[in-house]
Chain A
Amino acid sequence: MQLDLKTIEALAPDQASLGAAAKLTKRSNWPRLETNEQLGLIWGECQGSGANPYRVAFDARDHGYKCTCPSRKFPCKHILGLMWIGATAPASFDRVDQTPEWVNDWLGRRRKPGQPPTPAPASAESKSIDEALRPEQSAAVEDAAAAERREAAQRKRAEDTRSAVSAALDELDQWVADQLRLGLAGFVDASSERCRRIAARLVDLKATALAGRIDELPAKLMALRSEERPDAAIRELGKLVLLAKAWRAAPDDAELKRLVSTSETRDQMLANPDALQVESDWEVLGEKIETRRDGLVSHATWLLDLKSPIPRFAVLLDFFPASAGRRSGAFAPGDRFKARLVFYPSRIPLRALVAERLGDASPGNWPDFAPNAAGDPLAAYAAFQDGAPWLSDCPILLPAGAIALDEKDGAWWQAANDSHGIALPVAGSVNHTLLGLDLTVTAALWNGARLELLASQSSIGRLNLS
């Protein structure tokens, strides 16, 4: 396989991309690097700023490339980084005969595979590998006064943000009271417009995360039957009131800040000594991909800890602009891997980042988790609501059961031994084959109104349901 730095220089869209790629050439950024020399392919997984690693592939025969990152630069720094390692340290790649499914998918979708490489267009901007390799000039040593000024400015900014968010929550409170006064029947009918208006106001006042949540409220209501919508509105608005109150009581609380304004960066998370870290075997239960009204796509990958004595879940959450097109995730439902996850500090730790991939885990059934004492499938949800009543989606493991249909062909999960007379309505439609299968364990998300199925164990093995 012929790869040289001149090619990388020619393909790079600008000098900044080359500089960023140079920083990605450390082996530690790449949990997986593989090559199929016969086909002239290299690929890898690069731990970028998202929760999921990015999948990067490069075809040396025609200089075709693919990366799952949301960058609008083509090729992105991850592709350049992969090529760079390919050119300078080819021994870093494990040689394999089989290409993974996602690489095959990409190759299969390419319009003209196997074409000779097209020469990169000459860019007006000069780019240089040497320049990218030059160490960055160290910042001038800051004097004490300047450092104090910077810190004071930071404090001022934090103070301003806090005041703005506080004002945002005052407006939210007033808005909630207005909706109650005007009637929830009208709110449900006009929720799209009303939520849009308050969400825009919250964005102005720096309560960005809260704005995103309120923007999604109409879609949540519309997914329910009309007779269920007022109750759902009460639940959602009540959660907003609780969240606002909790933030006022502890504005520096990391979880509440994340839910109201902005989230920590990946680097901040990795540097946080208090963040819970769990090294274990994980199975990808399923994915939940939603296009939001603010133009972002949220991509949630739900994981199950296979070594925990009680059910422990994690969610890798990534956001990217819908305009960036459809992206495939790094993991497919059913995948198993060993990894160290870092959990965002939270009362119920769920959201996490993959800090370190440690290889693949062996396939098999889910472990037999200790059943909860009450035998109540929703006991985990009650505990979840006790800890974080402002959250909605709670991952649960349901005992043996089956899917049944009501008179309107709505699907319900029903417990096999039905000791609590419990049946939970399932979101959306289900594959009708599922109606004839006995589910021994089911992993799902429960939001108080609907069950979103992720995966099941059954008499015929694991079922992907997301």
Chain B
Amino acid sequence: MNELEQAGLARLRDNWISGGAAFELAPAEWKEFAAASSSDEQERRLLAIAAQALDVALRPAAPKTLKRRPPLPMLALPMLPDWLRPLLRAVLKYAADARLKTRVATLVASRGFVLHPMDWMPAASDQESPDIYAPWVDWQAGADGDRQSRRGQLTAETWDDFYPAARRTALVELRRTMPVLARTLIETKGASEPAEVRLALVELMRFGLSADDIPFLKSLSADRSGKVRETAGRLLARLGERSDPADGASKDPIAELAAFIEEGKSGFIRRRTTYTPIKPKSPAQQSRRADLFASCYFGDLIAQFGKTEPDFIGAWQFGVDEGADLFLVRMIAVSGSDAAVACLADLLVAAGGRLALLVLQLMSRLDNGRKRVLIRQILDDGQNLAALNLVEGAEAGWLEWSDLARSKTLPALRSAVSGDNDVMKRSAEQYLETLGFLANPEAAEKLIDEVIAAGLSPASPSLGLLRLNAALAGNPSQSDR
């Protein structure tokens, strides 16, 4: 189409938009084609020509500022094979929320694959997805793919080449292998970061925390951010450092908290000390006690009673006041030493029943071995299977068939799927989904057979994750290799 025709088309268009005859405004050649006895027919013919001109001769004008995203980074693991993707998509569709979908990605990553980005992508704010996805988390957050691909190891020089998720993953790894180097990086580079980033960096000090970190953590008591000071204080408390009494405080909070705890003796032959929570007399007292447990450090509390951590934990009378039990466990999770956390977890798991579920409050501090013990305990007990979903950071694909076969969970599941109670059946289907994450391939396969034999429809979507797990049998979990 030449310029004259383009100008003519623009005139026709403007005229038709407002209405009225446009024949005289058409380019000369078009008028020749469109000439007819009636004016309506002339207009229609012109319309047909104009339609074709718009369709074929004119191309949409591309905006000058089209924004391309950087290329999606390649991840270090291969993608899940195509033949498993329909099953995976069914599993993701069944997973009710982002957390459960992330769990699917964790299981698949534990077998050496990543998901196809059109099937699942971690969110920009995601901190739960497996570390392998850090480049995608940063890409979602707007990171430049080129910068990501050219970076090497995290050092002071390459600091800026790392976007937050990748930097976090690298720092965690560094804290485990070279904690001093990681601390130096956090100390030198973190100082110039805003408070929010500083806080996230200081929180990473919990990995590989040791007495060497005390000077740095103490130096943070002068930090501008209250949250940073608080986090550093908790980490110091875990290392056995006592907190400084608050300046000008009218009342010592530790003494106030200790007043809610009664020291006593028990046993006839061998007298031993006991610590029993005193029942608060009013809602106000109850609330104050909760605040004190949340704000004081465990190290200060045991110092008040002159006990060691294991002694105090062993002397605490669990079961007298469930609220106080919970507050104490949370307090130890926040400020107890690693040894105190391990001691408490072992004690609670050994107690079993509802007390064992208090270990869920310690999840962020527990090692994988103790998490496994807790999960086995929950399965053996078979009474609180919903708690399985609360086990944060559990490993994928390790649970063996023998763990399930000897537990009370298996008969409970069989009975639920074969019964008529829809509520129990739905719950059982949720547990199957969870077990699909925890089980190893052999256990997954056997569990599918068991519940189908018990009456569950073979096509139940709750079996999806178990099926995916079993289908990845050729790739045992990385943790079990």
Residues of A at the B interface (CB closer than 8 Å) are: 39, 99, 101, 103-108, 110, 113-114, 173-174, 176-177, 180-186, 230-231, 234-239, 241-242, 245, 363, 378, 381-382, 385, 389, 402, 404-407, 412, 414, 421-425, 431-438, 448-449, 460-464
Across the interface, B86 reaches (CB within 8 A) one of A101, A181, A385, namely A101
Number of B residues near A (Cβ < 8 Å) is 50
Whole-angstrom CA separation of A177 from B139 in the bound complex:
54
Contact at A173–B19, with CB atoms within 8 Å?
no
Across the interface, B54 reaches (CB within 8 A) one of A234, A378, A423, namely A234
From B116-124, B320-328, B371-379, give the one contacting chain A: B116-124
Contact at A406–B82, with CB atoms within 8 Å?
no
Contact at A107–B51, with CB atoms within 8 Å?
no
Contact at B118–A433, with CB atoms within 8 Å?
yes
Whole-angstrom CA separation of A402 from B68 in the bound complex:
8
Is there a chain A Cβ closer than 8 Å to B59's Cβ?
yes
Contact at A108–B460, with CB atoms within 8 Å?
yes
Is there a chain A Cβ closer than 8 Å to B419's Cβ?
no
Q: How far is the CB of B465 from chain A (nearest CB, A)?
A: 13
Q: Which residues of chain B come closer than 8 Å to A183, judged between CB atoms?
A: 16-20
B31-64: contact bitstring with A at CB < 8 Å (1 yes, 0 no)?
A: 0000000001101110111111011100110110
Q: How far is the CB of A65 from chain B (nearest CB, A)?
A: 15
Q: Which residues of chain B come closer than 8 Å to A105, judged between CB atoms?
A: 90, 459
Q: How far is the CB of B117 from chain A (nearest CB, A)?
A: 5
Q: A107-B458, A180-B22, A436-B145 are in contact. Are A412 and B50 (CB under 8 A)?
A: no
Is there a chain A Cβ closer than 8 Å to B130's Cβ?
no
Contact at B51–A242, with CB atoms within 8 Å?
yes
Q: What are 19 A-to-B residue pairs whose CB atoms are below 8 Å? A: A101-B86, A104-B90, A107-B458, A177-B41, A183-B20, A184-B17, A184-B19, A231-B13, A234-B47, A234-B54, A235-B51, A238-B54, A242-B51, A406-B66, A412-B66, A421-B62, A435-B68, A436-B69, A464-B118
Q: A237-B47, A382-B56 are in contact. Are A414 and B62 (CB under 8 A)?
A: yes
Contact at B457–A177, with CB atoms within 8 Å?
no
Contact at A404–B67, with CB atoms within 8 Å?
yes
Q: A180-B16, A237-B47 are in contact. Are A448 and B79 (CB under 8 A)?
A: no
Q: How far is the CB of A352 from chain B (nearest CB, A)?
A: 24
Q: How far is the CB of B8 from chain A (nearest CB, A)?
A: 13
Whole-angstrom CA separation of A182 from B18 in the bound complex:
7
Q: How far is the CB of B452 from chain A (nearest CB, A)?
A: 9
Is there a chain A Cβ closer than 8 Å to B393's Cβ?
no
Across the interface, B459 reaches (CB within 8 A) one of A107, A173, A181, namely A107
Whole-angstrom CA separation of A423 from B118 in the bound complex:
23
Contact at A422–B59, with CB atoms within 8 Å?
yes
Q: A101-B90, A174-B40 are in contact. Are A433 and B51 (CB under 8 A)?
A: no
Whole-angstrom CA separation of A241 from B50 in the bound complex:
11
Whole-angstrom CA separation of A174 from B41 in the bound complex:
9
Contact at A433–B121, with CB atoms within 8 Å?
yes
Contact at A231–B459, with CB atoms within 8 Å?
no
Q: Which residues of chain A come closer than 8 Å to B458, judged between CB atoms?
A: 39, 99, 107
Q: Which residues of chain B come closer than 8 Å to A382, judged between CB atoms?
A: 56
Q: A433-B121, A463-B118 are in contact. Are A230 and B16 (CB under 8 A)?
A: yes
Across the interface, A234 reaches (CB within 8 A) one of B13, B60, B63, namely B13
Across the interface, A448 reaches (CB within 8 A) one of B16, B41, B55, B62, namely B55
Q: How far is the CB of A171 from chain B (nearest CB, A)?
A: 13
B455 closest partner in A (C-beta): A114
Contact at A407–B65, with CB atoms within 8 Å?
yes
Whole-angstrom CA separation of A400 from B1 in the bound complex:
27
Q: How far is the CB of B81 from chain A (nearest CB, A)?
A: 10
Q: How far is the CB of A236 from chain B (nearest CB, A)?
A: 8
B67 closest partner in A (C-beta): A405
Across the interface, B68 reaches (CB within 8 A) one of A173, A186, A245, A404, namely A404
